[in-house]
Amino acid sequence: MLNPVDDALIEKLRAALPDGSLRPPEPRDLEEPRGKWHGQAGIVVSPRNTEQVAEVIRQAGQARVGVVPISGGTGLVAGQVATQGPPPILLSLDRMNAVRGVWPSENALVAEAGTILADVQLAADGENRLFPLSLASEGTCRIGGNLSTNAGGVQVLRYGNARDLCLGLEAVLPNGDVWHGLRRLRKDNTGYDLRNLLIGAEGTLGVITAASLRLFPRPTRVGTAMMVVPDPAAALDLLALAGAHLGPGVTAFELIGGQGLHFLADTGLPHRAPFADIPDWSVLIDVSAYGADDPNAALEALFAAALTAELSSDGIIAQSDGQAAGLWNIRENIPQANRLIGPIASHDIALPLSEIPGFIADMPDRLARLGDFRINCFGHLGDGNLHFNVFPVSGRSRADYPGASEAVTRMIHDRTHELGGSFSAEHGVGRAKVGDLQRYADPARLEAMRAVKAALDPAGIMNPGAVLG
Amino acid sequence: MKVLVPVKRVIDYNVKVRVKADGSGVDLANVKMSMNPFDEIAVEQAIRLKEAGQAEEIIAVSIGVKQNQETLRTALAMGADRAILIVASEDVHHDVEPLTVAKLLKAVVDEEAPGLVLCGKQAIDNDMNATGQMLAALLGWSQGTFASGLEIDGDNANVTREVDGGLQTIKVKMPAVVTVDLRLNEPRYASLPNIMKAKKKQLDEKTPEDYGVDASPRLEIVKTSEPEARKAGVIVKSVDELVEKLNEAGVI
């Protein structure tokens, strides 16, 4: 059993760390973006360097007190808030935000865990390189949290998720040891991959303090288009057509359901409606080009082919980066519109691509057995990742649907599992999906995960309650 | 009535501008170029006039390098009827000067006889804010600058302008040159079907010689330099410390 933070531990931490490293928790430390979970903490500690992080972990281990590492706090599955058990140490990485180095010729960059994602992107840009991890919260989230949750975002299709963008890590393990693994190697076959164990561990196996990251040549131009498609099956065919035309040039391929555009209009969030009439389905496509290549010409050729194949009937193409930002603004404001409308249940599922059209076509009828709902389905189609969110019908609120949330989620996750999918594509497990992991994970894998956790963190101090519960 | 809309191809306003190492100008090699945003507003306004039945034909004109074709195709896709490209430079780094542009536009106006010239109030690359005014002077036409509202009323145009402390509406006699400001409208997106149709619209290519205009530069760029980088801030712990820092900086 773990102990709560007490005065004796606070005194020891105060003695071991520089002035100003400790503070009592404030409400903002204990919240998460969806407002569904409320955390608790005995003290907030903000170390300035890796050795200080190690000191905190060692003190916590001796006192058997839980440690919840917190990065930007934008996670959607309550991995950053300790909802139960004795109040833990909240270990904030926000002061460790230095970019330690950029190696343009190696396409590598080393940043501390608390570096804001947008600052990592800027540091790469400053050397004419691209760090492709990109998500709606990039101005707030921090790279340590991105790696701990193996974040995805909008360019996974081309560049992979956070795991694929990491070359090495520096981390403090639960026993207080510092693992110096900031290698900048593409090839390093030397035994178990601790890096990939810590990525996606959501702070349950240690604290990532810095990361060596992969960079890419920066595209000289990116073209952005939104194309209307008749249905999700056509969207998938269009994705295949885009692949045939443009190969790795397709860097994002987002499916947008009409409901999301209606929500944007209903909530009055600032956006420019792309079409006079809201289409039932559309896709947002980014094409990256290098040298003197013209991405817009490529998109126009793709549209001409799509028109012939009857995969698209209408579309718009950004004529400036400002218009491109406007189109992406539509996509990125949909989650905000969802929050304003108030979902009954939100889901972040992954499916084999070929199962997606059937799933989307068939789920509304299944859900209708549980009540009348509106569904907003959008997501990273290229990655098989759907955000499949369920809302009250117009004029009603989620309070009118008592108990529906669990039943809806169960039905969606069961169906996803049946089709060979995942109940968490890019958000992680956190505390919100601990039950799902127990229910759907392969038993042998779950047992191996428990063994790893017990071996690295026998006292269970690291992010107690998250992932394995 | 014909409406003439000059459009300039400029560095995209979202691109981080880099100065060339030798300080001779801004590096434009393989950089995203787009229609000057104020010109885009002018194109949109011309289309709205046509949709309202107040204009019959919209002619987009661009003066610069051959690649300005792309900019004209954008204008055609938005809804312009035909386009004229005057190739006055072979190098994207050479900015054609406002007076040259105004003279060329005057020659086009003499040929096309539009009832209205709608221009952006300025180009976002050189910020000259001169072409529209020079053109009106060369033509001897009335001018309405910085339009945030535009109404055609018979032989007159009512132009609303954002001035200090409010809005000013002036009545100018047509034909006129009107330069447009940011808040006049929000330009439409170019639809893909319209982009395909725009490829078939007429685009004439000309040279300054065709109009008898000497396009050689009169201005010399002495130096281009980046703005001074922003200095890092400091975080203060208390109001007292803030006051102390502000005193040190001599700002209070």
CATH number of the domain at A99-217, please? 3.30.465.10
Q: What is the mean pLDDT of residues B170-191?
A: 96
Per-residue pLDDT at A80 exceeds 90: yes
Among the partner residues A125, A291, A317, nearest to B195 by beta-carbon distance: A317
Residues of B in contact with A325 (CB under 8 A): 14
Banded model confidence at residue A79, pLDDT cuts 50, 70, 90: very high
Instruction: Check if B12 contacts A (Cβ < 8 Å).
Output: yes
Round to whole Å and give the CA distance between B71 and B9.
Answer: 6
CA distance B70 to chain A (A): 10
DSSP A305-348: HHHHTTS-SEEEE-SSHHHHHHHHHHHHHHHHHHHHH--SB--E
Residue range A133-167, pLDDT digits in tens? 999 899 999 999 999 999 998 899 999 999 999 99
Per-residue pLDDT at B232 exceeds 80: no
Q: What is the mean pLDDT of residues A38-48?
A: 96
Which of A46, A296, A319 is the best mutation test for B, with the most CBs of B within 10 A? A319
User: Are A77 and A431 within 8 A, CB to CB?
Assistant: yes
Per-residue pLDDT at A40 exceeds 90: yes
The separation between the first and the last C-alpha atoms of chain A, rounded to the nearest angstrom, is: 14
Percent of chain A beyond pLDDT 70? 100
Do B30 and A321 lie within an 8 Å CB cutoff? no
User: Are A85 and A466 within 8 A, CB to CB?
Assistant: no
- Predicted ipTM? 0.80
Residue range B50-67, pLDDT digits in tens? 999 999 999 999 999 999
Round to whole Å and give the CA distance between A421 and A418.
Answer: 7
Instruction: Check if B15 contacts A (Cβ < 8 Å).
Output: yes
3-state SS, residue A291: coil
CA angle A195, A197, A203 (to 5 degrees): 100
Do B195 and A227 lie within an 8 Å CB cutoff? no
Per-residue pLDDT at A426 exceeds 90: yes
Kindly give, in sequence order, each residue whose CB lies less than 8 Å from that of residue A274, ignoring residues fewer than 6 positions away.
Answer: A226, A261, A282, A316, A327, A330, B189
Do A300 and B74 lie within an 8 Å CB cutoff? no
φ, ψ for residue A194, nearest 5 deg: -65, -35
Residue range B71-116, pLDDT digits in tens? 999 999 999 999 999 999 999 888 999 999 999 999 999 999 999 9
Q: Which residue has the tokens 């057509």?
A: A241
Q: What is the mean pLDDT of residues A188-196?
A: 94
Interface list for B 32-51 with A (CB within 8 A): 32, 34-35, 37, 40
Instruction: Check if A231 contacts B (Cβ < 8 Å).
Output: no
Per-residue pLDDT at B175 exceeds 90: yes
Do A291 and B16 lie within an 8 Å CB cutoff? no
Joined tokens for residue B136: 């009106």
Burial (CB count within 10 angstroms: exposed 0-12, middle 13-18, buried 19+), residue A357: middle
Question: What's the length of chain A?
Answer: 469
Q: What is the mean pLDDT of residues A268-283?
A: 92
Tell me the CATH number of domain A221-418, given options 3.30.70.2190, 3.30.530.20, 3.40.50.920, 3.40.50.300: 3.30.70.2190
Per-residue pLDDT at B18 exceeds 90: no
Round to whole Å and give the CA distance between A5 and B229.
Answer: 45
Cα B229 off chain centre by: 28
CA angle B218, B222, B227 (to 5 degrees): 125
pLDDT of amino acid A438: 97
3-state SS, residue A26: coil
Q: What is the mean pLDDT of residues A331-358?
A: 94
Per-residue pLDDT at B250 exceeds 90: no
Banded model confidence at residue A55, pLDDT cuts 50, 70, 90: very high
Per-residue pLDDT at A1 exceeds 90: no
Interface list for B 52-111 with A (CB within 8 A): 70, 74, 77
3-state SS, residue B3: strand
Q: In chain A, whose CA is at the least distance from the CA of B18?
A: A126
pLDDT of amino acid B229: 82
CA distance A190 to chain B (A): 42
Joined tokens for residue B9: 């191809």
pLDDT of amino acid A362: 96
pLDDT of amino acid B21: 86
Q: Which residue has the tokens 């787009």?
A: B34
Round to whole Å and give the CA distance between A339 and B58.
Answer: 44
**CATH topology for the A7-92 domain:** 3.30.43
Instruction: Check if A118 contacts B (Cβ < 8 Å).
Output: no
CA distance B187 to chain A (A): 10
Strands A43-45, A89-92: pairing is parallel
Residues of B in contact with A274 (CB under 8 A): 189
pLDDT of amino acid B24: 87
Among the partner residues A304, A307, A322, nearest to B13 by beta-carbon distance: A322
Q: What is the mean pLDDT of residues A8-30?
A: 95
Q: What is the mean pLDDT of residues B209-224?
A: 93
Do B196 and A319 lie within an 8 Å CB cutoff? no
Kindly give, in sequence order, each residue whose CB lies less than 8 Å from that of residue A134, ignoring residues fewer than 6 positions away.
Answer: A121, A153, A154, A155
pLDDT of amino acid B32: 87
Residues of A in contact with B14 (CB under 8 A): 320-322, 324-325
Minimal CA–CA distance to B67: which of B14, B109, B30?
B30
Joined tokens for residue A184: 């900048």
pLDDT of amino acid A21: 96
Instruction: Check if A220 contacts B (Cβ < 8 Å).
Output: yes
Q: What's the predicted TM-score (pTM) here?
A: 0.88
The mean predicted confidence, pLDDT, of chain A is 95
φ, ψ for residue A128, nearest 5 deg: 65, 35
The mean predicted confidence, pLDDT, of chain B is 94
pLDDT of amino acid B111: 97
- Quick one: residue B140, left, alpha or beta (phi over 0 = left, psi -120 to 50 = alpha)? left
Q: What is the mean pLDDT of residues B108-135?
A: 97
Which sequence spans correspond to the domains of chain A?
7-92, 99-217, 221-418
Among the partner residues A272, A307, A315, nearest to B191 by beta-carbon distance: A315
3-state SS, residue A145: helix
pLDDT of amino acid B31: 86
| Tally of CB atoms within 10 A around A25 | 16
Residues of A in contact with B37 (CB under 8 A): 320, 322
Round to whole Å and give the CA distance between A93 and A56.
Answer: 12
3-state SS, residue B38: helix
pLDDT of amino acid B238: 86
Residue range A243-260, pLDDT digits in tens? 999 999 999 999 999 999
CA distance A187 to chain B (A): 33
3-state SS, residue B196: helix
Round to whole Å and give the CA distance between B7 and A88.
Answer: 62
Residue range A408-417, pLDDT digits in tens? 999 999 999 9
pLDDT of amino acid A292: 85
Q: What is the mean pLDDT of residues B139-150?
A: 97
Peptide bond into B98 cis (omega under 30): no
Biggest distance spanned by C-alpha atoms of chain A: 73
Minimal CA–CA distance to A363: which of A297, A418, A431?
A418
Do A319 and B37 lie within an 8 Å CB cutoff? no
Peptide bond into A18 cis (omega under 30): no
User: Are A68 and A447 within 8 A, CB to CB?
Assistant: no
